[in-house]
Amino acid sequence: MKNNDDIIYCGVDVSKKNLDALVGNKVKRYDNTMEGVKQLMKDAGDVHYVFESTGGYEREAAWWLLKHNKKVTIVNPKRVRDHAKSKGQLAKTDNIDARMITSYAQSNELRLSEIPSDEQIALTGLVNRLGQIKGFISKEKNHLEGAFEKQHISYIKKNLRFLEKQKESIGKDICEIIHESEDMTAKAESIQEISGLGPVCSMTLLAYVPELGTVSKKRIAALIGLAPYNRDSGNFKGHRHIIGGRSKVRKALYMGAVSAIQYNPIMKEFYKRLVEENHKPKKVALVAVMRKLLIAANYSVKNSDFMLAN
Out of 69-73, 245-249, 252-256, 263-267, least confident range? 245-249
> Could you give the 3-state DSSP secondary structure of residue 211?
coil
- Residue 233 scores a pLDDT above 60: no
**Distance (Å, whole) CA 125 – CA 129:** 6
Q: For residue 241, name the pLDDT band (cuts at 50, 70, 90).
A: very low
Angle formed by the axes of helices 247-263 and 265-272, to 10°?
A: 100
pLDDT band for position 91 (50/70/90)?
A: confident
161 contacts: CB under 8 Å, gap ≥ 6: none
- What is the Cα–Cα distance from 171 to 179, expressed in whole angstroms? 12
The rounded mean pLDDT for the chain is 87
CB within 8 Å of 282: residues ≥ 6 apart: 275
Assign 58 a pLDDT band (cuts: 50, 70, 90).
confident
253-256 own/partner pairs: CB under 8 Å, 24+ apart: 253/201, 253/224, 253/226, 253/290, 253/293, 253/294, 254/286, 254/290, 255/200, 255/201, 256/196, 256/197, 256/198, 256/201, 256/290, 256/293
User: What CATH number is given for 9-107 in this structure?
Assistant: 3.30.420.10
Q: Are 140 and 156 in contact (CB under 8 A)?
A: yes
What percent of the chain stands above pLDDT 70? 90
Asked if 221 and 234 count as a contact pair (C-beta separation under 8 A), the reply is: no
Q: Where are the domains of the chain?
A: 9-107, 118-180, 204-309
Dump pLDDT digits (tens) for 168-177: 999 999 999 9
Would you say residue 159 has pLDDT above 50? yes
Q: How confident is the model at residue 1 (pLDDT cuts 50, 70, 90)?
A: very low
pLDDT score at 112:
86
pLDDT of residue 25 exceeding 80: yes
Whether residue 37 contacts residue 61, with contact meaning beta carbons closer than 8 Å, is answered with yes
Amino acid letter, residue 74: I
Phi-psi category of residue 213: left, alpha or beta, with phi > 0 → left and psi -120 to 50 → alpha: left
- Phi-psi group of 244: left, alpha or beta (phi > 0 → left; psi -120 to 50 → alpha; rest → beta): left
The C-alpha atoms of residue 169 and residue 199 are separated, in whole angstroms, by: 15
What is the structure's pLDDT at 231? 47
* Whether 23 contacts 50, CB under 8 Å: no
Higher pLDDT, 60 or 135: 135
Higher local confidence (pLDDT), 43 or 242: 43
Q: Which of 153, 277, 253 minimizes the C-alpha distance to 200?
A: 253
Q: How far is CA 239 from CA 231, 242, 272, 290, in A?
A: 6, 10, 20, 18
The full DSSP string for 49-108 is EEEE--TTTTHHHHHHHHHTT-EEEEE-HHHHHHHHHHTT-----HHHHHHHHHHHHHHS
16-20, 118-122, 165-169, 282-286: which is most confident: 165-169
Distance CA 30, CA 35 (A): 9
Banded pLDDT at 16 (limits 50, 70, 90): confident
Distances (CA, A) of 52 to 25, 208, 291: 19, 16, 25
Task: Give the model confidence (pLDDT) of 115-151 as tens digits.
Answer: 888 898 899 999 999 999 999 999 999 999 998 899 9
